[in-house]
Every structure is written in C-alpha cells, then in structure tokens.
Amino acid sequence: MRPPSLLFVCLGNICRSPLAEAAFRDAAARAGLEAVADSAGTGGWHAGHAPDPRSRAVALRHGIDISGLRARAVRDADFTGFDYILALDPQNLRDLRAMAPARSSARIALLMDHVPGRAGQAVHDPYYGGDADFDAVWDQVRAAADALVAMLQR
C-alpha cells in the first residue's frame, strides 16, 4: 500500500502553500507517518521561484528550512497523482474544481475544513502583510497539519 499523498494549493505557491507543505511534512515526521507532500499554485507566474523570504523566515523560526522548495503550477497529472488536493482558500478551491479533469481521482477540499471549528475558513493570503501575518498563517497551517495527520492515522 502506498503512503497517502497530499498537494497543498494557494494562488502563487510562494507564501501559504509552501508553509502548509512544510508544516504537514514536519507533523507527519513527528508522528512517524509516511506520507508524500507537495505544494503548487493555481497560477504559474512564480514557477521556479523560492518561497517568499517571509515564508522562509517563519518556517526557519520553527526549525524548518524551506529554501529548497520551488514554486510550480498545478498540472493535470496532480488530479490523479495525489490522494488529496487541499486549497488554502475558497477561491482556489473553486479554481481547482474547475481545472479538474473528468478522470480526477483526488479528493479536492478546503484545507481548514479539516480543523475542528474552522470549516469554510480561508488561510488568509499574507503577501501584502508583515511578519505577524506570516506567523498567523503558520499557526493556521500547523493546526491543519496536525489535524490531517490525525485523520490519516485513523
């Protein structure tokens, strides 16, 4: 049996989704859960770029180096290659559902729907904010990562 695979998706794949990927990888490792994680954007204009410096800084403050990650756009193969595709906000969820090919086998959902009491909520885009906004994103994606690991261990 292959390990579960999760793709975290935001708009440009330089702020929120790399942090969600990092938080999930860390939570899975701490729990001893074998899983595959990646991140992507619904838009491809940052393809090949490292995460935003503020995302790298907040991850590093939590002991995680994401400087080696590179942005990419969602591709058709993701819809059959991943078990879960998790959007970080409702607009990206709508975009993913519209992009999904008919043969899609991935479960497409909103990331925060997995956190008790947070269903329907977005992980707000910190791009135009400051350090406090990136810290808030970290708190949200860490809570989601822990909830996902718990779900996958059941």
**Residue numbers annotated as active site:** 10, 16, 125
Secondary structure of residue 90 in the 3-state scheme: helix
> Is the Cα torsion angle 125, 130, 131, 132 positive or negative in sign?
negative
Measured from the Cβ of residue 91, the count of other Cβ atoms closer than 10 Å reads: 14
- Residue closest to 142 by CA, chosen among 74, 59, 53: 59
Which positions ≥6 away from 72 have C-beta within 8 Å? 13, 40, 41, 44, 47, 48
- The rounded distance, in Å, linking the Cα atoms of 15 and 94 is 19
Q: Under a CB-based contact definition with an 8 Å cutoff, are residues 145 and 20 in contact?
A: yes
Q: What is the b/e burial string over 41-56, where b = at least 16 CB atoms within 10 angstroms of the residue's CB? A: bbbeebeeebbbebbb
